[in-house]
Amino acid sequence: MKNKFLAIASLTLFLSITSCTIEVREDNDIPKSDNVFTGNTISGTITKNTTIKKGNYTLEGIVKVADGITLTIEPGAVFTAKSSVGTSLVVLKGGKIDAQGTATEPIIFTSDNKKPGDWGGITIYGNAPIKAANGASTALSEDGNNQTYGGNDANDNSGVMKYVRVEYGGRKIGDGTSETNTMTFYAVGAGTILENLVAYKGTDDGYEFFGGTVSASNLVSYGNYDDAFDWQDSWSGQNNSNWFAYQTSIGNFGMEIESSSNADNTAPKISGITLIREAGTNPEVAGSAEISAIQFKKQGSGIFTNVFIDGYKNLGGKNAFAVLIQDAGTETAQVLTNKVKVSPIFVQNSDNLGNWGYAFTSTQPKTYTNDNTVKKISLTSGAWATVNGVDLLTALK
């Protein structure tokens, strides 16, 4: 009898010591995943609810979270993307991510090579409404995954992301037309929570929204090669706050805004925007005019309040503006109907002060007056916004 108890105790101790830090919660109605986890390497499609605990992991290839599945990630988990095999993390329509880090223990996604564009970043597909080209309610993703996005649930819930940092994601894909961003949200709904996120040094946009209704607060876009913030397909988030872009070395527009040429759209709202362009920052393409802080085109709209802009100067014979309107259609249907507002605003260390820019002859050009009450947004420093010992929020102080 004594030996039997000893055997059971030994087995219990063995299982406790050797149990994997990846916990897979079984559901009899969900098909089992094959070869998704090999030690702490994750690949393939996750087809059962899974919790990943604090620790170090490798992402290899396109890792997908299937429809009906929730991927839960605990604070302190660090994922290293394998750069040689086209890695990305994709939450498919109907799937969810529950990634809730903390300011002191963020959830981090990085790469093995530590170079911009090493991997595809994080992409989430939802079921919220979109208006794509020609008013289409669905469209095909431009990330190479060939996913159809767009739905009819404005409050669709794709999960939670808090205190998550994504490094070196967002890249051009070899077919010449596809690309991923550091973080991409396709038709993501308002039931999804996005807070305290960092997009760090990707080779496309920091954040891009393709339609949908989700809102986001406390976003940091640092050193991304294309635009810090970008959207199209009539994204309409209404409760956004505290967006910060720091453009350094290479960067195009601070914000690139369009509505896929749909004049009938709902203007998104953002309270508290700080856009800073470090001296010596060049556009991706030498001589490009993509050097202004905020660009509206193709019926893009937005209601922005408390906007602080710093460092947008003429370069290579091109003019830089705080606000640039690219086409007469956008002026007529969006600006002159008050669906484009950028006020109050304060601009410093920039050229063409006081005037909006137009890439055509405007019928009613707008001007602005600096409001000294507008200050940079305030975000609290911590591990969540620190990379290699560098506080990414220093420019806000």
pLDDT, tens digit (0-9, with 9 covering 90-100), for 351-396: 999 999 999 999 999 999 999 999 999 999 999 999 999 999 999 9
Percent of the chain residues past pLDDT 90, beyond the cut: 87
In sequence order, the β-bridge partners of residue 164 are 107, 197
Burial 365-374 (b: 16+ CB within 10 A, else e): ebebeeeeeb
Q: How far apart are CA 379 and CA 394, in angstroms?
A: 10
Can you tell me the distance from the alpha carbon of 102 to that of 16, in angstroms, rounded to the nearest whole number? Answer: 27
- Bridge partners (DSSP) of residue 195 are 162, 217
**In the chain, how many domains are there?**
1
What DSSP designation does 18 have?
H
pLDDT at 36: 82
Give the model's pLDDT for residue 175.
60
If DSSP codes are grouped into helix, strand and coil, which group holds residue 145? Answer: coil
Indicate whether 272 belongs to any domain: yes
What tokens does 69 get? 């599945």
| 6 found inside a domain | no
Q: Where does the pLDDT of residue 176 fall: very low under 50, low under 70, confident under 90, or very high at 90 and above?
A: low
Is the CB of residue 259 less than 8 Å from the CB of residue 238? no
Digit-coded pLDDT (tens) for 98-154: 999 999 999 999 999 999 999 999 999 999 999 999 999 999 999 989 999 999 999
pLDDT surpassing 70 at residue 67:
yes
Residue 7 falls within a domain, yes or no? no
Residue closest to 297 by CA, chosen among 264, 329, 345, 251? 329
Give this prediction's pTM: 0.92
- pLDDT tens by residue, 277-315: 999 999 999 999 999 999 999 999 999 999 999 999 999
pLDDT for res 34 = 46
DSSP symbols for 231-253: EETT-----EEEEEEEE-SB---
Residue 8 within a domain: no
Q: What's the rounded mean pLDDT across residues 169-181?
A: 78
Residue 330 belongs to what H/E stretch? Answer: helix 328-330
Q: Residue 60 in 3-state DSSP?
A: coil
Q: Is the residue at 17 inside a domain? A: no
Q: Is the pLDDT of residue 25 over 80?
A: no
| Domain region containing 372 | 23-396
Contacts of 237 (CB under 8 A, 6+ apart): 190, 209, 212, 213, 214, 215, 216, 268, 269
